[in-house]
């Protein structure tokens, strides 16, 4: 009987441990409600990161490109809503000949989020079709640990 009792105690402890482990990690994290005391990145850092994404995309540098985007990334365009894997697949079909970024503006809603907006003039093709023109762009960067990662991007052809 004592042995059964001991076994039951072990099971009980294990169950409680499982219990604690089951909490939603997203919810258990402290929400970043207030601006944190961590130093805010400057606009130049975010601009450089954004330009790195463009450079990696143009040169089809898969690892560099993937390393700058967060795993839950979404891109929203006229031709659809794209995940990171879809963006990578699109990169293969894109020939970006040239681009320039202008009117760059960066805002920090809090110390862990940066929103960058800018205009691009670009020349290139996607899947054999000409996609050259002027576009309005926006990206949202989120600080994960000590790294900034792109979590959202949109590009809209200017009227």
Give 59 or 85: the residue with its C-beta nearer to another protein: 85
Q: Does 117 bind another protein (CB under 8 A)?
A: yes
- Please give the helix or strand (H or E) that residue 45 lies within, else none: helix 43-58
| CA–CA gap between residue 36 and residue 138 (Å, rounded) | 24
Q: How far is the CB of 61 from another protein (least distance, A)?
A: 23
Q: Does 147 bind another protein (CB under 8 A)?
A: no
Give 15 or 39: the residue with its C-beta nearer to another protein: 15
Q: Do 71 and 88 touch, CB atoms closer than 8 A? A: no
Q: Record the tokens describing residue 142, joined without a space.
A: 């989120």
The Cβ-side half-sphere exposure at 134, using a 13 Å CA radius, reads 6
Q: Does 5 bind another protein (CB under 8 A)?
A: yes
Residues 71-90 that bind another protein (CB under 8 A): 72, 74, 76-81
Q: Does 26 bind another protein (CB under 8 A)?
A: yes
Q: Does 53 bind another protein (CB under 8 A)?
A: no
Q: Does 158 bind another protein (CB under 8 A)?
A: yes
Size of the site for another protein (CB under 8 A): 56
Q: How far is the CB of 9 from another protein (least distance, A)?
A: 7
DSSP output for 48-101: HHHHHHHHHHHTT-HHHHHHHEEEEEEEEETTEEEEHHHHHHHHHHEEEEEEEE
CA-based torsion, 58, 61, 67, 69: positive or negative? positive
**Which one, of 61, 49, 75, lies nearest residue 153 by Cα?**
75
Applying CB under 8 A, which residues contact another protein?
1, 4-5, 8-9, 11-12, 15-16, 18-19, 22-24, 26-27, 29-34, 70, 72, 74, 76-81, 105, 107-110, 112-113, 115, 117, 119, 136-138, 140, 142-144, 149, 151-152, 154, 156-159
């Amino acid at each position: 009987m004592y042995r059964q009792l001991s076994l039951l105690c072990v099971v009980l402890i294990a169950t409680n441990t499982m219990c604690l482990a089951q909490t939603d990690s997203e919810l258990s994290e402290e929400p970043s409600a207030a601006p944190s005391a961590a130093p805010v990145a400057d606009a130049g850092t975010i601009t450089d990161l954004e330009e790195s994404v463009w450079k990696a995309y143009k040169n089809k540098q898969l690892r560099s490109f993937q390393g700058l985007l967060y795993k839950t990334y979404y891109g929203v365009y006229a031709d659809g809503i794209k995940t990171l894997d879809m963006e990578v697949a699109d990169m293969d079909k894109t020939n970006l000949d040239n681009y320039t970024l202008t009117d760059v503006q960066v805002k920090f809603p809090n110390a862990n989020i940066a929103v960058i907006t800018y205009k691009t003039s670009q020349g290139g093709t996607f899947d054999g079709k000409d996609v050259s023109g002027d576009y309005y762009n926006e990206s949202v960067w989120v600080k994960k640990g000590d790294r900034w990662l792109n979590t959202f991007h949109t590009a809209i052809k200017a009227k």
